[in-house]
Amino acid sequence: MVPLIEAVNVSKRFAGGLGRESTLALAGLSLAIHAEKPSIIAVVGESGSGKTTLARLLLGLAEPSGGEIRYRGNDLKRLDRDGRRAFRHDVQAVFQDPYGVYNPFYRVDHVLKTPLRRFRLAGSRAEARQVISEALRAVGLQPEEVLGRFPHQLSGGQRQRSWWHARCCWNRS
C-alpha cells in the first residue's frame, strides 16, 4: 500500500546570513500517512524544534535539503500539473488559528466557494451553494448563520468548523 503522503529521510537546513552558520531544522525524519487507513498524527515539540518546517515540507510549500516528500509514491518536486492539482485536492492544511484562514475583506462564502471552483466540485452556483449548505449542516452549522457574513462575525468555533469540516466533507466526494 503506497502512502498518500510520506517524508523519506527528510532534512531541512536554512542558510545563515551575514557570516552566521546555517541552521539544521530537521534531520533524517521519516513518516507516512496512508489514505486507506486514516489516522491522526500529532507533531509535538518545543519552540524551534521543526514542527512548522515539517508542515511546510509536507504541504509542498518548501523543499527539503535532503530526502524526499512523496505524494502517492511520487516525489513532489517531479509532479506534473495534473499531479500537483491532485496533491492540492488531497493534502490540505487545517490551521489551528481560524483567523489565519480567512481574509477579513471577504465574506465567508468566498473561502468556501474557492475550492469548489478550483477543483470543479460543483457544476453551477446553485449546486455550489447546495454543497456548501450540506457540508455546513454536516458539522452542526446553520448555513443562514454563516453564509453572507464576514469572518469577524463568526465565533472561533464556527470559523474552524466552516473551514475544516466543510473541506473534509468535500474531499470525501
What's the average pLDDT block by block, 10 residues per block, for the chain (173 residues)? Answer: 93 87 92 81 84 92 95 95 89 66 82 83 90 86 90 78 57 49
166 Cβ contact list (under 8 Å, min separation 6): 112, 132, 135, 136, 139
> Residue 67: its pLDDT value, please?
97
CB 109 within 8 A of CB 23: no
> Residue 122: its pLDDT value, please?
87
The alpha carbon dihedral of 39, 54, 69, 120 has a sign of positive
Q: Which domains does the chain have, with CATH numbers?
A: 5-90 (3.40.50.300), 98-171 (no CATH)
C-alpha cell at 20: 552566521
CB 136 within 8 A of CB 146: yes
> Residue 96: its pLDDT value, please?
63
Spatial distance between the Cα atoms of 89 and 5, rounded to a whole number of angstroms: 13
> Residue 42: its pLDDT value, please?
78
